[in-house]
Amino acid sequence: MTGTANRDEDSAAILDAIEQWAEKELRPVARKYDQADEYPAEIVEQMKELGLFGATIGEEYGGLGLSASTYAQIVVKVSSIWMAPCGIFNSHLIMAAAIERAGTEEQKREWLPRMATGEFRGSLGLTEPNAGSDLQAIRTVARRDGDDYVINGGKTWITNSLHGHGTLLLVKTDPKAEPRHKGMSLVIAPKGPGFAVNKLKKMGYRAIDTCEIDLQDYRVPAANLLGGVEGKGFVQTAGGLELGRINVAARGTGIAEGALQLALRYAQERSAFGKPIWNHQAIQLKLADMVTQVEGAKLLIEQAARKYDAGERCDLEAAMAKLAGSEAGVFCAQEAMRIFGGYSYSVEYEIERFYRDSMLMCIGEGSNEILRQIIAKQLVERHRI
């Protein structure tokens, strides 16, 4: 009991520190960085000091070793103020989780301590122009050449890849394998010759580098093959997506909570027809639906996080959390826009940023259409008659 109590106290202290940092450092600069689409280098340095790049990395490798539950609460808080910075450490931590879960001991010792401090900031290189939800359709090929792999191909929509230091690449080590997933591998790929990056311009989720990666005769040591065995990449990727979906669920829920907070304040400040607009039934109905979606999504996130922390399979729970959290973000951002009325279209009001950022959560880490299929299939699988 003492150990559990200490962990709870440590988690509470970390959450309190993150909340104070987000209010003091993030809120005043979010609009500036977003409007300029400028990478927040100073914020990144502060996140390094807070230990966010090692949040879920084990203590034996220099990380904080936080539970998925505590991590999700951090993401909700940060996203309720400005969602984009979460992307800087989210894909980084998915890469770290894959190394910690599936890497060799040598790979863990080489990469995780540097990732925990933020000295090496990583990303996840899965998506290609012709392969998003259907990852088995990737065309990036890694050919063994002596002690190296020579990689040719390209990735797109890779967050944290311009200012980051490398990515965990999903490649085909055996393009002719059947079934296709048996020819797929993950490779730890630090930047080097043949690794070119081009930043994409986005409607929302600004200030964070999301890029195309072009790989032309890019060489990486064969020792960087995750786990040291070819053909395991698809399974290794699937495990990492559970943490990623819990993160996106938390980001969507944070957007929803932030939009609700803005709308709740505005509804008490703004008057129409002789009274604050929150007194009008139409506004009350919106606020009630918004808070209900926020709190419901939080419960689903907690359920998924607890199963993840227990080492249990949680693809169903993570998918439900991601679906609920991301849809709550879109719903609450839209309803808040309606509550703000004409002012919602002004960049002087932060709600327009929440609206622009929200839709990405329904697409990233598996589209919600795909997730609905996963949920239905897992539901039937668990309740076979």
Residues noted as catalytic: 365
80: closest CA among 380, 372, 378, 353?
353
In the chain, alpha helices (H) = 2-21, 30-36, 41-50, 68-79, 85-102, 105-117, 233-269, 281-309, 315-340, 351-358, 368-382
Phi first, then psi: what are they for 347, rounded to 5°?
Answer: -70, -5
Q: Which amino acid is at 329?
A: G
111: closest CA among 179, 190, 201?
190
Q: Which amino acid is at 102?
A: A
What's the CA dihedral at 326, 330, 333, 335 to 10 degrees? -130
Q: Are 325 and 253 in contact (CB under 8 A)?
A: yes
User: Any idea how long the chain is?
Assistant: 385
